[in-house]
Amino acid sequence: MKKYALNLATCFMLLCFVSNLSATDIYLSAKGNDSKSGLTSKDAVATLSKAVKLVTGNGYVIKVSGFIDISKEVSGANGVLSNRVISLEGENKETSGFDGGGITRIINFEGAFDKTNTATLKNLTFRNGLSREGGAVRVVNSEKFRFENCLFTGNSTTGTGTLHLHNVGKVDVINCEFRNNNAKSGGAIYENNGAKVNVESCLIENNDNSAVAGSSGGAIYITNPNGFTINKCIIKNNKVAGNGGAIAIANSSYPDKTVSITNTLIAYNKSENSSGGGIYIIDAASERNIEFSLINSTIYANTAKVYGGAIFTDNAQNGSFVKLINNTIVENKSESGPGFAPGLSFRSSGDRFIKKYIYNCIIENNICTDGRTGALADIASDKFNTRDEEDFILRNSYFGSLNGNTFGNKPEYNNTLNYGVTKAADLAPSSENYINSQNSIPLNSNSEGLKKGNAQYLKELNITTDQLGNPRTFVGNTCAVGAVEIP
């Protein structure tokens, strides 16, 4: 009986050991050899192409050690192709990843469709990729992908995105960095045709596309989205020749037309020759709409050559809207005259209007760098004079220059308006120092703005913290305006 029990226990341990090894792990190493099996770290293969060939179904994980030079294993610029749902996992992004050698994309997922498994790319660096679409990674006609703790750097494309997403079901990009990449559309990320995308806790900086004629979306280009969220990100120092120094957005035909940005810094981005230094929204395609919201975020020191140093919306479809809640939008610039609005610029088309809601915001001291100042410094909007309460709803906000108008000036609206370039909101001094140290600008500790906001706008969205994640103070139904309260 004891012998039987011992044998049973031994079998159980062996089963556990085998299951922990997992038959779906393939090992890839810069020190590997393609003549090996790839089934253990000691028998790692040397090329991604070989590792992918060893995959016979969905759900495999390729364990990556060292940097794999893709340029030595493919011809042309398409990179390694996979139509399987496979994951790539490095030891850490400093020591593991892929190099395109400046001549090829790294990996191309096409038709990787499986509702059960998610392809996860984790703890990796993707560098020096080059292709027409997706300088580093291209994902098309596929289902679920997750990019986690990855670095994308030095990648180039003559077309769309360091990370190119087309007709993908769901994509999460978490805790990733995109630095020093360039593309015509979307220096970091390009999304088209219905992906549900969540970009969270990412740093997107120094993607310079200004030498590419007509380039748009220095960091992110979104077109025909099916729900796109950006949360807790830093997007700074990106450049384009065309529209959208940081982000360019086109409207959607999908049921979920929302693009939502929360708890994010957008700073020092530039449109060299056109509009939307921070954000550009094109709402031109008929039978489509956009529902854009910006919440608990700071837009600071972005520059446009023409319209909208901070935000520019172009054209409009009835039913679309822009909703701004508890944001700080200051010190953005237009290199043209004040009529082009270095702050917010909304351009309508015919009798179609994009509806604008602005609640609990600080929008002031946005300036023209051509030496002129004027009433249109913080906003310009076609025809909003005659449709103010239909088309433009402003509450509990500081707005330095509102085209000299007095609408929104009823006492019950609790706005402070048309005070020019004076910093009436009483933000803390040395704004640039605060941006560099905490990615936001707080209010002074005795500012009236600490109780100027209407807390209901945040409570309706179940938001109880500010941009930095600190608890917001709700006193009755009041709260602080702007993205953060105090340091």
For strands 163-174 and 228-231, give the pairing: unpaired
Q: How far is CA 395 from CA 407, 408, 455, in A?
A: 11, 7, 12
Whether 99 maps to a domain, the answer reads yes
Instruction: Using the predicted structure, report yes or no on whether residue 31 has a pLDDT greater than 90.
Output: yes
User: For all residues of the chain together, what is the average pLDDT?
Assistant: 90
pLDDT, residue 423, reads 86
- Reference 397, options 429, 435, 364; nearest CA is 364
Residue range 269-286, pLDDT digits in tens:
999 999 999 999 988 777
The CA distance from 156 to 182, in Å, is 5
* Coil, strand or helix at 338: helix
Q: Which pLDDT score is estimated for 8? A: 46
Residue 343 pLDDT > 50: yes
Q: Is residue 131 part of a domain?
A: yes
Query: What is residue 373's predicted lDDT score, i.e. its pLDDT?
Result: 52
Residue 395: enclosing H or E segment and its boundaries? strand 392-395
pLDDT at 4 over 50: no
| Confidence at residue 403, expressed as pLDDT on a 0 to 100 scale | 63
Q: Which tens digit of pLDDT belongs to each residue from 196-207?
A: 999 999 999 999
* Residue 157 in this model has a pLDDT that exceeds 70: yes
Does residue 2 register a pLDDT over 70?
no
What's the whole-number mean pLDDT along residues 345-349?
82
CATH number of the domain enclosing 417: 2.160.20
pLDDT beyond 60 at 149: yes
Domain membership flag for residue 454: no
> Which of 129, 127, 122, 184 is closest to 150 using CA atoms?
122
Per-residue pLDDT at 375 = 42
Residue 208 has pLDDT above 60, yes or no: yes
Predicted local confidence at residue 341, as pLDDT: 80
Q: Which of 34-43, 302-311, 380-389, 473-482 has the lowest mean pLDDT?
A: 380-389
The total number of structural domains that make up the chain: 1
Q: Tell me if 49 is assigned to some domain.
A: no
The strand pairing partners of 157, in sequence order, are: 131
Cβ-based burial of 42 (10 A; exposed 0-12, middle 13-18, buried ≥19): exposed
Q: What is the reported pLDDT for 18?
A: 40
Most confident of 27-36, 54-63, 362-371: 27-36
163 burial level (CB within 10 Å; 0-12, 13-18, 19+): buried
Do residues 249 and 222 make contact, with C-beta atoms less than 8 angstroms apart? yes
CA distance 36 to 73: 17
Tokens of 227: 């729900």
Tens digit of pLDDT for each residue in 352-401? 778 899 999 999 999 888 765 544 578 877 655 445 677 889 999 999 98
Domain membership of residue 17 (yes or no) is no
Backbone region of residue 401 per phi and psi (left: phi > 0; alpha: psi in -120 to 50; beta: other values)? beta
Residue 78 corresponds to which amino acid? N
The model's pLDDT over 75-115, given as tens digits with 9 standing for 90+, comes to 889 999 999 999 999 999 999 999 999 999 999 999 887 88
Q: How many angstroms separate the CA atoms of 445 and 16, rounded?
A: 59
What phi and psi values does residue 343 have, to the nearest 5 degrees? -95, -95
pLDDT over 90 percentage in the chain: 71
What percent of the chain lies above the pLDDT cut of 70? 90
Residue 346 has a CB neighbour count (10 Å cut-off) of: 27
The count of C-alpha atoms lying within 13 angstroms of the C-alpha of 397, restricted to the half-sphere facing its C-beta, is 27
Specify if 18 maps to a domain: no
Q: How far is CA 322 from CA 91, 258, 399, in A?
A: 42, 10, 17
> How much is the pLDDT for 388?
60
Q: Please report whether residue 378 resides in a domain.
A: yes
pLDDT score, position 337: 64
Predicted confidence at residue 387, as pLDDT, reads 55
Residue 138 within any structural domain of the chain? yes
State pLDDT tens for residues 222-263. Answer: 998 899 999 999 999 999 999 999 999 988 888 888 999 999
pLDDT at 93: 98
Q: Is the dihedral of CA 401, 404, 407, 412 positive or negative?
A: positive
140 CB neighbour count, 10 Å cutoff: 18
Q: Bridge-partner residues for 292, per DSSP?
A: 259, 322
Kindly indicate the confidence band of residue 37, based on its pLDDT and cuts at 50, 70 and 90: very high
Per-residue model confidence (pLDDT) at position 19: 39
- How far is C-alpha 281 from the chain's CA centre? 14
What range defines the domain where residue 317 resides?
Answer: 54-440
Overall pTM > 0.85? yes
